[in-house]
A = this chain, B = another copy of it.
Amino acid sequence: MSGEPASAVVAAAEPDRSFSLAAERLLLGRMLASLGSPPIQLVLWDGQQVGKTHEENPARLLVRDRSALLRLIADPEFRFGELYVHERIEVDGNLTDFLETLYRALPRNKPLGFKEKLLAPFSSRRHSAAQSANNIYHHYDIGNDFYKLWLDEQLVYTCAYFPQPRLDLEQAQVAKLDYICRKLRLRPGETVVEAGCGWGAMALHMARHYGVQVKAFNLSREQIQHARLQAQSTGLAGQVEFVERDYRDIDGQFDAFVSVGMLEHVGLDDYHDLGALINRCLKPDGRGLIHSIGRDQPGNMNTWIERYIFPGACPPSLSQMMAIFEPNGLSVLDVENLRLHYAQTLTHWLQRFEAAADRVKDMFDESFVRTWRLYLAGSLASFRAGDLQLFQVAFSRNGNNQIPWSRQDVYQEAAHADL
C-alpha cells in the first residue's frame, strides 16, 4: 500500500494538452501484459490508443493526463480506484462489464508478491479489538440514511438468496434469513448467539418466525441503535438482546451460533480463536452457520478496497476457513457456494445506488459517489468473474449425532405462510 496520502490524487485543474510518448505507450503495453493482456483498449488524452477491445465488450478506459497514466502504470491495482474516483480516468461503456473483462484476464493462482509478503506480518495488528472497532466505524457508521437509499427495507447488507432468480431484493433477503434458519433447524425456545448482527434483521427474523431467544453482538453503534428500535417497535425486545460489544466478548452456551458477513472482518490469525470461542459457546448438540465472502484460493483483498472501503478485510479460501473448525473439535456438515446470488444481490444494490446517486451526492460529494460506484461495480464484477465466492458453512461439534439426517427438509415449502 502506498504511503502517499489519498489527497495527492485530485481532479486535474485543466486538460493535458501535451502529446503522449512512444515510451509511455510501450510501458502501458507492458502493464497490460502483466495483467494477463485483457481485451480492453486505453485511450490517452491525445487520442492515442493502446490495446484492442473485445468485440462483445467495447468498453474503453480514457486516461485524462500524463500524471494519471504514470500512476496507473506504477500500481494499477491500487491507483485505478484513486484515479477513477477523482475522474482522472473514466470508463467509456459499462463499468461492471469492463471490470469483469479485466478480472477474468488476470493471471490466476499467482503467488503472493514481494510487497504482500512484506506486509503480511503486520496484518494481524489490524484486528486488535480497538482496531476492529475503528475498521467497523469506518464502513458501517457512515450513516443509516445512506444505506437506506439502496439496501432493502430491512437493511440487510449481505448476500441475498434468490430461490427464483427473478425475486426482488426484499423477497430475496427474507428468503436468505429464512434459509439460514432452516439450515440451522431452529426450534422454538432455543437460544442463539449472533456474531456481527448488522442492523438486526437476522436476529429479529429468528425471534419472530422461529420463537428463539437471540443474543446479538455488533461493534457498530449506529447499527445497534437501529436494531434496538426495531426490536421495540415489533414487540420482540423480550426475545432479542442487542449487545454493542466485540464478538470476542461472547460468553454463555447456546443451541446455535450464527455469523453472517462478519468473518470477512476477522483476521486469518484470529480464526483459531474464533473456533475455540464457538466450541465454548455451543451446547453439546449445538449447530452453527458462518456466512462469508471467500475465495477459491488464498489471496489478498484488492488494495484499493482494503484502504478505502473495508480496512482489515480478508475473504478466506475454504482451506483457510478450516482453521476455525478443524483444530477446535467442530465438524463441517454442509458448505454451499452462493457466488451467483451475490452477483444478483449486487446487481440490485448497484441499480438502486445509481437511482439514488443524486441524493448520495447531496449527502456527500461526487468523489464519494464514484468511490461507492466503483466498489459496488467492482464487487459485482468480482463475483461474476469468480474472484470472490460466498460460502455458507454449517457445522456442529465433532461426534454429535443429533444432526440433520439430510438436506431434504431445507428445500420443502417454507414453513411460514407469510414468507
Contact = CB atoms under 8 A, between A and B. Distances in A.
Interface in A302-360: 317-319, 322-323, 325-337, 339-340
Nearest to A327: B109
Contacts of A298: 326
A104 B399 contact: yes
Interface size class of A (residues with CB under 8 A): 35 or more
A331 B322 contact: no
A336 B337 contact: no
Copies per assembly: 2
B332 A334 contact: no
Nearest to A333: B337
Contacts of A108: 329, 398
A386 B402 CA distance: 12
Interface string A387-419: 101000000001111010111101100000000
B406 A163 contact: yes
Nearest to A323: B319
A367 interface: no
Interface string A145-186: 000000000000000011101000000000000000000000
Contact of A337 (B331, B340, B384): B331
B403 A340 contact: yes
A336 B183 CA distance: 12
Task: Give the 9 A-B residue pairs with the shortest CB-CB distance, closest first.
Answer: A386-B399, A335-B335, A319-B322, A411-B411, A297-B326, A386-B398, A333-B337, A319-B319, A296-B331
